[in-house]
Structure 1
Amino acid sequence: MDSSIAQAQHIDLLILPETNLILVASVIEPLRAANRIAGRTLYSWSLFSPDGRAIETKSGIPVPVAGAFRPQRETAPLFVLSSYHWQLSATSQLKMLLSQTARHREMMAGIESGSWLLAETSLLDNFSATTHWEDFEDFAAAYPQVTMVRERFVIDRKRITTGGSLPTLDLMLELIRRAHGYSLALEVSRLFIYEQERTRGDLLQVPAIGNMRILDTRVGAAVKLMEETVEAPLTLARLARRVGVSARHLQDLFKETMGVAPHEHYLALRLNAARRKVIETRMEFADIAAISGFNSSSSFSRSYRGHYRESPSETRRRLKLKN
């Protein structure tokens, strides 16, 4: 974990008319899931529209907002969401508000077509950025001062841009990983299984973290073995032998496709499984340690505290007091 989980991160969302409902969900739902899994408020958010009226999404389902976007000196990250006809909202007043609030915000994100509005307001000048693949060439021609990158999302200092709804989900997983560690990001991603790879005739569902969505079949097979052997973890050598590669090669493949070493992913799986037992059952910690592949309660407690910044007993005590 890179930061304390005690302080909640607040995010403001400016949603433009005709935004896809799934785009809004791609930002909010991973944050909600992170709160649920952690058993505490890691994230909060407020929704705004240009005029304070509910947003009519393209699906016809309105999204209520807290009010009109009238920022003062807020420092929270601002996400600007748009899908269609962003130009209709790009009034001189809104662009002025965005320019003013950018002086204070720790970060600003253009989500899908929201990147156009940021560029139009000169907030992407001299930054790297991306946008929806259909608009990539037009965007690059319209804003030569922006360095366009063909990626699902781009994080460049205080600016973030994404290329669509699923890339936005990728982005949120990456932000969760950076703030709260790989284990939490992995568990959130497993709630939103949206990658399906066929391996040896089986349907293997594998979550993606960050920008890595294309999974090598050998890594996929290794991940499946890890999930099947949580109670009795395999050594790296045995794992590699089972999928037909050397241990060193498997390490390299994991780094390339998952962004972590095999043992980090394995440990995250085991700890997440253990945490679910800690939260959802009254099992003894020694029993949870055993079924999660730890050889002692003390080693389990050390790993648990290292990942979650609290002991298993502190988790149960905190959630009991909360309820």
Structure 2
Amino acid sequence: MPVSAPEPAALVPQGAAFFPVKTPGPTRRYAFVLVPGFTLLAFSSAVEPLRIANQLSQQPLYQWRLLSEGGVAVASSSGISVCTDGPLGPQPRDTRVFVCSGNPARAAAAPSVVALLQRHARFGGTVGGICTGAVALAEAGLLDQAPFTLHWENQPAFCEDFPELSPCATMFEIAPKVMTCGGGAASTDMMIALIEQDHGAEFAAMVSEMCLRKVMVGVDAGQRSALSVLIRSRNPGLIAMVARMKAHLEDPLPLAELARVSGYSRRHVERMFLSVLGETPGDYYRGLRLDHGRNLLSTTDMPLIEVALACGFSTVAHFSRSFRARFGMAPTKFSRAKARRPQA
């Protein structure tokens, strides 16, 4: 298969620490596709473990190249631009091709990026998504048979755009031909897991130590903190009710049903919410639904009526009044403010 541009040589920098790899095998290749607005933290967190692996072993265990549409430098979400090695084009079958994206998430679904992924997968190559890169994989039709994830902030919009697909809440997912992570520190965890597959647990643990990550996070770890931490309570009844609320944003449950789940009386539930969370159960529940609405307004182009219904409001008027009370502006003004923000 032809390659779009000559590959750069594998980087093997010098370092004080050393961990030999006796049977390294062939150099493993990665291609990172940078999409405008990609998250710099997630991208660098994926590349650095590969660099550390080469440095520790003093061998070219890994080689990577950066691609972009037109081969131009790409501005990250922080405004910092990163130069690339060449334009999008066919890659060798043994290259793992990862799409690095951020916000807006739909930027990952550019036709040229989707076409590259489809071609690479069709010829037996491995593909992946970092942060919101799963959007490109979904658009390419490559997520039907594999577990996958993307950043939790973008999962509600993803589920609206691809209702037939269900992202996992995990930090990363590694399937034989599809690999995804939520970005940030999850990029490092995913790469360390891949290094472990390639060169063993001891070497991967040393790479993790070099990243100052004393405990490697497993694939079962969730992206977000435990609910007990977020609501500052370990009361199992309260945790069960809040979890139930989060699972029913579109079809809000009555307080009687929530009280039944907790095993407490309605009056006790009201006192518990006021003492722990400082709000009535109804106000807290409404806040969760409105926060979900704000997320959808920020990350999708859904009509206002669809956003309202997705948050459990039967009318736009009711949703708008509640939204203004919580956020200080009407949802229509919030949407216009979002439209005026410059996109990377």
Q: Is 1:211 the counterpart of 2:219 in the alignment?
A: yes
Q: Is 1:36 the counterpart of 2:55 in the alignment?
A: yes
Distance 1:125 1:31, change over 3 A: same
Partner of residue 15 from structure 1, selected from 28, 34, 38: 34
What is the CA–CA distance in structure 1 between the aligned matches of 2:171 and 2:100, rounded to whole Å? 16
Q: Is 1:192 the counterpart of 2:226 in the alignment?
A: no
Tell me the residue number matched to 1:171: 190
TM-aligned CA deviation for residue 77 of structure 1? 0.9
Distance 1:92 1:61, change over 3 A: closer
Q: Is 1:146 the counterpart of 2:165 in the alignment?
A: yes
TM-aligned CA deviation for residue 188 of structure 1? 0.8
Tell me the residue number matched to 1:27: 46
Structure 1, residues 66-104: CA drift from partner, whole Å, max 9, x if none? Answer: 111111554311111101124245333432232112212
**Contact 2:73 2:84 survives alignment (8 Å):** yes
Aligned residues: 203
Q: Is 1:92 the counterpart of 2:133 in the alignment?
A: no
Partner of residue 47 from structure 1, selected from 60, 66, 80: 66
SS in 2 for 1:148: coil
Query: What letter corresponds to residue 120 of structure 1 in structure 2?
Result: E
**Which 4+ stretches in 1 moved above 6 angstroms?**
none
SS in 2 for 1:40: coil
Tell me the residue number matched to 1:183: 202
Superposed, 1:71-90 pairs within 5 Å as 71=90, 74-88=93-107, 90=109
SS in 1 for 2:60: coil
Give the unaligned 5+ runs of structure 1.
Answer: 195-205, 215-323
TM-aligned CA deviation for residue 65 of structure 1? 0.7
**Contact 2:101 2:107 survives alignment (8 Å):** no
Query: What letter corresponds to residue 74 of structure 2 in structure 1?
Result: I
TM-aligned CA deviation for residue 163 of structure 1? 1.1
**Contact 1:110 1:117 survives alignment (8 Å):** yes
What is the CA–CA distance in structure 2 between the aligned matches of 1:110 and 1:89, rounded to whole Å? 9
TM-score normalized by the length of structure 1: 0.58
Distance 1:52 1:207, change over 3 A: same
Give the unaligned 5+ runs of structure 2.
Answer: 1-19, 223-344
What is the CA–CA distance in structure 2 between the aligned matches of 1:155 and 1:6, rounded to whole Å? 21
Tell me the residue number matched to 2:137: 118
TM-aligned CA deviation for residue 64 of structure 1? 1.2
**Contact 2:43 2:130 survives alignment (8 Å):** no
What is the CA–CA distance in structure 2 between the aligned matches of 1:91 and 1:51, rounded to whole Å? 13
What is the CA–CA distance in structure 2 between the aligned matches of 1:8 and 1:117, rounded to whole Å? 27
Structure 1, residues 129-162: CA drift from partner, whole Å, max 9, x if none? Answer: 1111122233234324434222110112311111
Structure 1, residues 185-240: CA drift from partner, whole Å, max 9, x if none? Answer: 1111111125xxxxxxxxxxx332543779xxxxxxxxxxxxxxxxxxxxxxxxxx
Query: What letter corresponds to residue 84 of structure 2 in structure 1?
Result: V
Partner of residue 159 from structure 1, selected from 178, 200, 206: 178
RMSD: 2.5
TM-score normalized by the length of structure 2: 0.54
TM-aligned CA deviation for residue 11 of structure 1? 0.8
Distance 1:212 1:191, change over 3 A: farther
Structure 1, residues 12-64: CA drift from partner, whole Å, max 9, x if none? Answer: 11111111221121111000001111111100011101221011122332211
SS in 2 for 1:129: coil
Structure 1, residues 231-287: CA drift from partner, whole Å, max 9, x if none? Answer: xxxxxxxxxxxxxxxxxxxxxxxxxxxxxxxxxxxxxxxxxxxxxxxxxxxxxxxxx
SS in 1 for 2:125: coil
**Contact 2:35 2:107 survives alignment (8 Å):** no
